[in-house]
Amino acid sequence: MKTLYHDGDTALHRLSPRVKLIGLAVTSVVLFWLHSPVALGIAAFASIIVFSTLKLKWSEIRRQLRPLVVTLGLVCLFTLAFNGSADALTVFLRLGSLMLLAAAVTATTGIGDFIDEITLAAMPLERLGILRAADVGLAIGLVIRFVPEVVSRYKTIREAHLARGLRPRPLTVAVPLIILTLRSADEIAAAIDARGIRRQK
């Protein structure tokens, strides 16, 4: 099981998870409120500075950002095709900044801390009887934990294709990937139940 968290002792590592998450939420709102390419450019530059303070190795940066860059590229291409270059530039700067900041928060905040903060934030909803706060924290923690797991499983299936001289095709990769992920999800759900992490009452 790999994780996007990186050990370290940078200013961002030392910052409280709550401050980081609130800061990220506020910054997202501000970024969507800004429209000027100059202002967004400054924001993007600031995001690069923040991310660079993590002092990650190139291999770690690649692992952390590759899926984000692919997504950003696709969104920008669609925007360019349908809305023109000005909008595509806005989307690139806005989402690029946001992705870098989110990646910086993910790289410096452990899943346990994430779960604690999200559980705390959901407590008012629990008091209203809408949901169980611990479930929200656990669900989000599991999503964060599973993303690298699914990627690693995808690589294994791809390698199994190549080892047998087969070209990996979307369907032949997706089917075993889904089956393996569901099977493992079943076992993890059973482990959560068996350990009493999610109580019945």
Partner 1 sequence: MDIRFNQAEARYDGRIVLHPLTLSLSERRVGIIGLNGSGKTTFARMINGLVSPTSGSVTVNGLDTVKDLDRSRAQTGFIFQNPQNQIILPLLKDDIALGLKAQRLPKADVESAVAAILSRFGISHLADRRSHELSGGELQLAAFASVLVGGPNILIMDEPTNQLDLKNRNLVERTIGELTEDVIVISHDLPLVMGVDRLLLFHEGRIAADGRPDEVIACYREIAA
Closer residue to partner 1, CB minimum distance, 61 or 134: 134
In degrees, rounded to 5, the angle at the alpha carbon of residue 51 between the alpha carbons of residues 45 and 53 is 110
Among 129, 165, 170, 196, binds partner 1 (CB under 8 A): 196
How far, in Å, CA of 113 to CA of 141, rounded?
9
Interaction of residue 181 with partner 1, rule CB under 8 A: no
Helices (H), 15-163: 17-33, 37-52, 58-83, 85-108, 111-127, 133-163
Interaction of residue 195 with partner 1, rule CB under 8 A: yes
Q: What is the DSSP string of 187-198?
A: HHHHHHHHTTSS
Interaction of residue 6 with partner 1, rule CB under 8 A: no
Distance from chain centroid for Cα 193: 26
Interaction of residue 182 with partner 1, rule CB under 8 A: no
Rounded least distance, CB 1 to partner 1, Å? 5
Residues that bind partner 1 (CB under 8 A): 1-3, 5, 7, 110-112, 115-116, 134, 141-142, 145, 184, 187-188, 190-201
